[in-house]
Amino acid sequence: KLSIGIVGLPNVGKSTLFNALTRSDILAANYPFATIEPNVGVVAVPDDRLPKLAEIYDSEKILPATVTFVDIAGLVKGASEGAGKGNQFLSNIRETSAIAQVVRVFEDGNVTHVDGKVSPVDDIETINTELILADLQTVENALKRLEREARMNKDARAKLEAVQTAQEVLNGGRTVFAAGLDTELLYDLHLLTAKPFIYVFNVDEDQVADEELAAKLRALVAPAQAVILDAKFESELIDLDEAEARELLESTGQTEPGLDRLASVGFETLGLQTYLTAGPKESRAWTIKQGATAPEAAGEIHTDFQRGFIKAEIVSFDDLMEAGSMQAAKAAGKVRMEGKDYVMADGDVVEFRFNV
């Protein structure tokens, strides 16, 4: 499963945020037999299409798509040289597909900052530096090998050049992701800074609706995505029922919980999209890679569906809503039969035909 690693300096609110993520309880509620590891939080991706589908189909249950977050403790200054739990940290983060850095913006005299002052720019720089140093080590080791190989084998030369370019970028203090390098030839190096980055700015409660501050923080990390939230507030919100939560949200000028925004941004950053299935038992969003074909989408439900794939009966969510029912959509000619080369679109409502 694709996951997003949560990193950040000490005392920025990682545990507080992670606690809220794990207590959103989507796994326990919907997948009772799943084992949940303590450092893994699974969060629903908000999708207002699902309740509408469930209404048409009179579904008993709604199963949203999810995003998995992994708490990667132990990133401190010097981690790339093995300080703290440096090496453990690096191997944990290598397994994730994207990185979310929690950055402290909130001021609180009772919560010390490791560097003595609250400075988002400096914190981002500190973390980036550790990741860059770790990548430089990886790159230097790879270069020794690639230089040897490139002398014998022409194919290795393109890769050598790609890795040399990465080294230049890293030496210049930039991440591979921010530099926008083509990472295809770098793939098997599993560079940390090649992973897509999300910044989670942990602000005070009275800053969550501050548009000016938000614009500044976003500009600081663009083109990477920024999510601005108050981790402490989120951890309180998660314990309330829906009506209470909505009231509290509105009182702070927010329309949506920060966790929901984080889930949506995370999902998008991972390059994922959903298709939908619906019936009396459940209305459900399934997660696929953007660009996945119909058989690949079927394989998400069951490998037999992919192996025995014949065709997919597909209606777009909007067409289905406009028609009001599957039957009416069929009568209106809105339901298509798609074959094995069809590339799925976000929000396709699907029924697969397959051989077993």
Q: Does 111 bind ligand GDP (CB under 6 A)?
A: yes
Between 108 and 304, CB nearer to ligand GDP: 108
Between 10 and 308, CB nearer to ligand GDP: 10
**Binding residue for ligand GDP, selected from 3, 4, 5, 14, defined by CB under 6 A:** 14
> HEC states along the chain?
CCEEEEECCCCCCHHHHHHHHHHCCHHHHHCCCCCCCCCEEEEECCCCHHHHHHHHHCCCEEECCEEEEEECCCCCCCHHHCCCCHHHHHHHHHCCCEEEEEEECCCCCCCCCCCCCCCHHHHHHHHHHHHHHHHHHHHHHHHHHHHHHHHHCCHHHHHHHHHHHHHHHHHCCCCHHHHCCCCHHHHHHCCHHHCCEEEEEECCHHHCCCHHHHHHHHHHHCCCEEEEECHHHHHHHCCCCHHHHHHHHHHCCCCCCHHHHHHHHHHHHCCEEEEEEECCCEEEEEEEECCCEHHHHHHHHCHHHHHCEEEEEEEEHHHHHHHCCHHHHHHCCCCEEECCCCECCCCEEEEEEECC
Q: Does 257 bind ligand GDP (CB under 6 A)?
A: no
Q: Mark residues 167-206: x for contact with ligand GDP by CB under 6 A, - for none.
A: -----------------------------------x-x--
- Measured from the CB of residue 230, what is the shortest distance to ligand GDP in angstroms? 5
Q: Does 232 bind ligand GDP (CB under 6 A)?
A: yes
Between 125 and 140, CB nearer to ligand GDP: 125
Q: Does 289 bind ligand GDP (CB under 6 A)?
A: no
Measured between alpha carbons, how far is residue 27 from residues 22, 66, 165, 355 in Å?
9, 9, 42, 31
Q: Does 39 bind ligand GDP (CB under 6 A)?
A: no
**Candidates 62-70, 133-141, 228-236, 264-272 — which segment interacts with ligand GDP by CB under 6 A?**
228-236
**Binding residue for ligand GDP, selected from 5, 13, 74, 258, defined by CB under 6 A:** 13
Q: Does 16 bind ligand GDP (CB under 6 A)?
A: yes
**Binding residue for ligand GDP, selected from 189, 200, 231, 249, defined by CB under 6 A:** 231
- Asked whether 310 and 355 are in contact (CB, 8 A), the reply is yes
Q: Does 11 bind ligand GDP (CB under 6 A)?
A: yes
Between 138 and 207, CB nearer to ligand GDP: 207
- Measured from the CB of residue 107, what is the shortest distance to ligand GDP in angstroms? 8
- Measured from the CB of residue 123, what is the shortest distance to ligand GDP in angstroms? 11
Q: Does 348 bind ligand GDP (CB under 6 A)?
A: no
**Binding residue for ligand GDP, selected from 57, 89, 106, 309, defined by CB under 6 A:** 106
Q: Does 10 bind ligand GDP (CB under 6 A)?
A: yes
Chain positions contacting ligand GDP, by CB under 6 A? 8, 10-16, 106, 108, 111, 202, 204, 230-232
